[in-house]
C-alpha cells in the first residue's frame, strides 16, 4: 500500500482515496498511479500510526518538501493530516504543502483552518473554472452549485483572516499560480487579474 511516493523531487502523502469531486480531467480515471510509483489505490485508510511508520521508513534523501496530495482529497482527513504535519515539523526541516480542492467547509464544517498556522507552509487551492456553472461542469462536486462560492469564501475570507501567521512566516503574500486547464468548451483565461479567472491559488 503506497502512502508516500516521490514525484518531481518532492515527497507526496497519499492518505485517502475519498474525494467529493469527480473532475473530468482527474488522473485517477486514466491509471492507478503517478509516474513509475506503485498503485495509489489504498487497501484501507491508513491510521496515524501507519502513516508515521511509512514516513519514517521512506528514504527522504534530497527531498525538502512534503505535499499532501494523492488519489484523494487530503482534507477529507483534516485532523489526521494536521497530526502528521506536526510530526513532520518536529522531526524534519521539510516544508509542508497541501493541494486541495478548497471544499473543506463542506467536507469538515467544524474544521478550523486557524489550526494550520505555523504548521502548514503552503496551501494550493484548485478552482478549475471561472464561474459556478463551469466549475460544476468541470469538477462535478457532490455538493452541487454552491461549491464554487464556498471555495471563493475560503480564498478571500477565511484564509485571508486565519492564514496570516503562516503567511508572515513564509514572507510571502498571496500569489497566483500558473496552473490552468481547458476542458472542452470550458476554458480558463490565464491573463485576467480577477480571482475568478484563475485555476489555482497558493497561500504561502
What is the value of pTM for the model shown? 0.80
Backbone angles phi, psi at 202, to 5 degrees: -120, 130
- The DSSP annotation for 42-77 comes to -SSPPPHHHHHHHHHHS--TT--EEEE-BSB-GGGG
pLDDT (tens, 9 = 90+) of the chain, 204 residues, equals 999 999 999 999 999 999 999 999 899 988 899 988 999 999 999 999 999 999 999 999 999 999 999 999 999 999 999 999 999 999 999 999 999 999 999 999 998 877 888 899 888 888 888 889 999 999 999 999 999 988 887 776 654 554 433 333 333 333 333 333 333 333 333 322 333 334 555 555
Amino acid at each position: 500500500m503506497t502512502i508516500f511516493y516521490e514525484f518531481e523531487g518532492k515527497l507526496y502523502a497519499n492518505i485517502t482515496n475519498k474525494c467529493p469531486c469527480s473532475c473530468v480531467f482527474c488522473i485517477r480515471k486514466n491509471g492507478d498511479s503517478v509516474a513509475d510509483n506503485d498503485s495509489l489505490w489504498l487497501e484501507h485508510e491508513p491510521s496515524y500510526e501507519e502513516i508515521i511508520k511509512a514516513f519514517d521508513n521512506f528514504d527522504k534523501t534530497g527531498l525538502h518538501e512534503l505535499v499532501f496530495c494523492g488519489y484523494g482529497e487530503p482534507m477529507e482527513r483534516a485532523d489526521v493530516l494536521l497530526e502528521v504535519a506536526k510530526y513532520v515539523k518536529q522531526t524534519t526541516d521539510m516544508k509542508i504543502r497541501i493541494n486541495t480542492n478548497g471544499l473543506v467547509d463542506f467536507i469538515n464544517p467544524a474544521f478550523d483552518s486557524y489550526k494550520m498556522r505555523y504548521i502548514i507552509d503552503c496551501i494550493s487551492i484548485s478552482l478549475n473554472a471561472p464561474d459556478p456553472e463551469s466549475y460544476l461542469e468541470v469538477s462535478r462536486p457532490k455538493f452541487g452549485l454552491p461549491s464554487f462560492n464556498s471555495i471563493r469564501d475560503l480564498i478571500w475570507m477565511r484564509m485571508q483572516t486565519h492564514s496570516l501567521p503562516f503567511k508572515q512566516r513564509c514572507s510571502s503574500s498571496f500569489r497566483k499560480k500558473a496552473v490552468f486547464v481547458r476542458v472542452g468548451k470550458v476554458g480558463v483565461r490565464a491573463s485576467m487579474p480577477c480571482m475568478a479567472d484563475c485555476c489555482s491559488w497558493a497561500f504561502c
